[in-house]
Structure 1
Amino acid sequence: MSKVILITGGSSGIGKSIGILLAQKGYKVYGTSRNPEKVTNFTAFPLLALDVRNTDTIQKAIAIVIKKEGRLDVLINNAGVGITGPIEETPDEEIHKAFQTNLYGPIAVMKAVLPHMRTQKNGLIINVTSIAGYMGLPYRGIYSATKGALELITEAIRMEVKMFGIEVTNVAPGDFATNIAAGRYHTPVFENSPYKEVYGNMLTEMDAHVDEGSDPTMMAEAVLRIIETSKPKIHYKVGAFMQKFSIVLKRILPDKMYEKLLMNHYKL
């Protein structure tokens, strides 16, 4: 029997690539979007209305899957938003939105699917985090914090639900060529800001390299391998060698030396 898979944020980017590959491999895939009616000419798999910041939409979407399929085998918590800016100047409202989408949202979806998986006595939850969650990156600190927190939540809940036959893991992508930049919140470069020059230059650099990330099918193939393994690891990293190696360097280098490397990289 084909496994039933739910992917949050499945209408574009990494989520879409994952869904297309899994559907091609014979899995029963459901994706989600906040506004699926706005996603035109999309036939790869069904899209359900779900906003991870709204628990009612979470419950309704999961109820639809359970009613149609009778089970839910795999949750891929992929929905997320980007955010950049000096922490001092980033609006509190935008900080809250980032945490609501990247941390509280995935927690809410996990809480909604766990009772069904517990009844089935099996299930798999894959939380999509980020290599940026392993380190505090300048002008991306809020994003790093949301994804780093989800890494730790994954570690904890994995131990809590293992006795029910449920596996939880996370996969941390590096930079991928997706449309995430279009939905990313950029704190404006204020004319009188003490960060104006450095932050402005960083934004220009980010925009110039937005399409130079890895092919998102690399993430899709990694997720497929996770689903098809019987005992998933706790952490997976997917991306360019140097992005993954940066995590190793943080583990082995003295803190200030690693900080110096980051500052040199970001020209600070």
Structure 2
Amino acid sequence: MPKVVLITGGSSGIGKAIGEYLSERDYQVFGTSRNPQKITTSSFPLLKLDVNDINSIDTAISEVISKAQKIDVVINNAGVGITGPIEETPESEIKKAFDTNFHGPINVIKAVLPQMRKQGAGHILNITSIAGYMGLPYRGIYSASKAALEITIEAMRMETLQFGIKMTNIAPGDFATNIAAGRYHSPVLENSPYKKDYGNTLKTMNEHVDNGGDPQQMARMVHRIIETENPRIHYKVGSPLQKFSIVLKRILPDKVYERMVLRHYGLK
């Protein structure tokens, strides 16, 4: 019996790459999208699911169970980007980012746990971000939402181990996807005290995404983790510099690391 995999945000970017890779290796893959009827090029079925709508989460999971009689793997991939000076970022947009990047994955997990508990097994993989390991200028809300997910999963994993359920966090760096087009940008305001620094940093961030790695890297890593009997709690996927930045954060004095980040974004 092939493993049954549910991927949130499976219509583009990393989610689509993972779905295609696993489908080619005989997994039974179900992706999700808020508007699956608009996607005509998916090589695996897409179900309607909005991580901000608990009813749609329950309906999609019920549909998978009805069609496949089980769910072996859930990949929490749906997420949104957000940039801007925190002072100038509307509270409504901050809440939206946390709803999608934090509350959404937690609600998906809560909805699928009863089925996995019944099976006595299951694996939940959460796509977080290397940005979640550090506060980055003009990306602080995004970093915070991913950091919150990382820490919550550490706790949830310990709570659910007794049921035979595994949880894993995978933190990607920059990958060449359409996340920049879909994220919320606080506008670069003409009279803003942050105008110059934020404008330059935004340009740098977009270049990093445009020149990012191939999402196939993430797909290969996800496949490897699914096939690992005792996977680690945390994995990082990105350039050597991006992964090394986490090590430096741990070992360098705070202000030294801060200066390094400021220089990296041309802010000092």
TM-score higher than 0.5: yes
1:197 partner letter: K
1:252 partner letter: I
> Which string of whole-angstrom CA distances, capped at 9 and with x for unpartnered residues, describes residues 89-120 of structure 1?
00111100000000000000000000000000
Displacement of 1:226: 0.4
Where 1:162 maps in the other structure, the secondary structure is helix
2:87 maps to: 88
Displacement of 1:209: 4.0
Displacement of 1:202: 1.4
1:225 partner letter: R
Displacement of 1:75: 0.4
Where 2:211 maps in the other structure, the secondary structure is coil
> Structure 1: how far apart are the matches of 2:208 and 2:139?
16
Identity %: 67
1:20 maps to: 20
Contact 2:76–2:124 (8 Å) recurs in 1: yes
Displacement of 1:155: 0.4
1:29 maps to: 29
Tell me, yes or no, if structure 1 residue 8 matches structure 2 residue 8: yes
Q: Which runs of 4+ in 1 moved over 2 A?
A: 204-210
> Structure 2: how far apart are the matches of 1:207 and 1:232?
32
1:153 maps to: 152
Where 1:72 maps in the other structure, the secondary structure is coil
1:39 partner letter: I
1:207 maps to: 206
Where 2:210 maps in the other structure, the secondary structure is coil
2:13 partner letter: G
Tell me, yes or no, if structure 1 residue 189 matches structure 2 residue 182: no
> Which string of whole-angstrom CA distances, capped at 9 and with x for unpartnered residues, describes residues 110-143 of structure 1?
0000000000000000000000000000000000
Contact 2:174–2:208 (8 Å) recurs in 1: no
1:176 maps to: 175
Unaligned stretches of 5+ residues in structure 2: none
> Structure 2: how far apart are the matches of 1:41 and 1:253?
47
> Structure 2: how far apart are the matches of 1:73 and 1:204?
40
Where 1:237 maps in the other structure, the secondary structure is strand
2:124 maps to: 125
When normalised by structure 1's length, the TM-score is 0.98
Unaligned stretches of 5+ residues in structure 1: none
Contact 2:204–2:265 (8 Å) recurs in 1: no
Displacement of 1:41: 2.6
2:9 partner letter: G
Where 2:231 maps in the other structure, the secondary structure is coil
When normalised by structure 2's length, the TM-score is 0.98
> Structure 1: how far apart are the matches of 2:217 and 2:194?
35
Tell me, yes or no, if structure 1 residue 257 matches structure 2 residue 256: yes
CA gap of 1:244–1:140, structure 2 versus 1, over 3 A, is same
> Structure 1: how far apart are the matches of 2:205 and 2:249?
23
2:71 maps to: 72
1:248 maps to: 247
Contact 2:30–2:44 (8 Å) recurs in 1: yes
2:244 partner letter: F
Contact 2:5–2:30 (8 Å) recurs in 1: yes
Where 2:261 maps in the other structure, the secondary structure is helix
Where 1:205 maps in the other structure, the secondary structure is helix
Displacement of 1:46: 0.2
